[in-house]
Amino acid sequence: MTRLVLGIDVGGSGIKGAPVDLDRGAFAAERLRLPTPEGARPAEVADVIGRICAHFADVLDGDDVPVGVTVPGVVTHGVVRSAANIHPSWVGTDADRLFSGRLGRRVVVVNDADAAGLAELRHGAAKGHDGLVIVTTLGTGIGSALLHRGALVPNSELGHLEIDGHDAESRAADSAREREDLSWQEWAQRLQRYYSVVEDLFWPDLLVVGGGVSKKADKFLPHLHLRAPIVPATLRNAAGIIGAAQLAAES
Ligand code: BGC
């Protein structure tokens, strides 16, 4: 029997959801994207998640089908603990409880990069890898997932390493490239510094680069010279949804 779980990815501009077929690591129906409400406070996001769930009600006909939801912050035991690029009122919110109450079904809330990383490990660029894999997502911030022998070590937050006196994501995220109008080569120099520090601390066997900009990987990855192979993510913008579903199923 196909294992279906609903995955929902909460991003800065859109909240996207789809039922995920976990055996194939693919959407079982077309994904629905609704705009993220202005300010994106927890209760407003809960309303949008409720609408996405209602849209897929016929697919999720049993009440026991879990829902996985990503947020761009640290999440421990369902409670959001940091909010670098989201509304500060998320900090301290028991998001598992808020969303479960709203939906009347089990909801598992996880960090966005952890979801993307687990999806790449189970179904994408790092499929089946049993060494140490670090997946980073380059977007508004830098998210990270630390995966070892098939297991996720959650909330690694490597985007906030302090490098040369700066919060790393403020210099090396894709938003820094856009904000400062950096050429691909200039940005690649920042990534070189960033990934060198990551490598010296963790000695990964494989680095996977996700986030929207990873579809332009040929513009910046060839400039990087690292010990470990560094490859683009393959699930692209499906990774958050698929990983959220995967984590909900595995939790
Ligand atoms: C947050 C992380 C998140 C990443 C990507 C960072 O600023 O601290 O939790 O995974 O951005 O959204």
Do 203 and 185 share a domain, yes or no?
Answer: yes
Cα maximum dimension of the chain: 52
- Report which of 188, 198, 241, 246 is spatially closest to residue 219, judged by C-alpha positions: 188
Using an 8 Å Cβ cutoff, are 114 and 155 in contact? yes
User: What local confidence, expressed as pLDDT, does residue 39 receive?
Assistant: 87
In a domain, 226, yes or no: yes
129 has a pLDDT exceeding 80: yes
**β-strands 14-21, 32-35 pairing:** antiparallel
Q: Is the CB of 169 within 6 Å of ligand 1?
A: yes
User: What local confidence, expressed as pLDDT, does residue 201 receive?
Assistant: 98
Mean of the per-residue pLDDT values for the chain? 95
Q: Note the pLDDT tens digit of each residue in 52-99.
A: 999 998 877 666 788 999 999 999 999 999 998 889 999 999 999 999
In a domain, 8, yes or no: yes
Q: Is the CB of 192 within 6 Å of ligand 1?
A: no
User: What local confidence, expressed as pLDDT, does residue 3 receive?
Assistant: 81
Nearest CA to ligand 1 atom 9: 73
State which residues form the domain around 105.
Answer: 4-114+238-250
3-state secondary structure of 152: strand
Q: Is the CB of 82 within 6 Å of ligand 1?
A: yes
pTM, whole model, 2 decimals? 0.97
CATH number at residue 78: 3.30.420.40
The single-letter code of the amino acid at 117 is G
The residue assigned the tokens 């940091």 is: 82
Partners of 231 in the beta sheet?
Answer: 208
Q: Is the CB of 243 within 6 Å of ligand 1?
A: no
User: What local confidence, expressed as pLDDT, does residue 1 receive?
Assistant: 58
Do 47 and 67 share a domain, yes or no?
Answer: yes
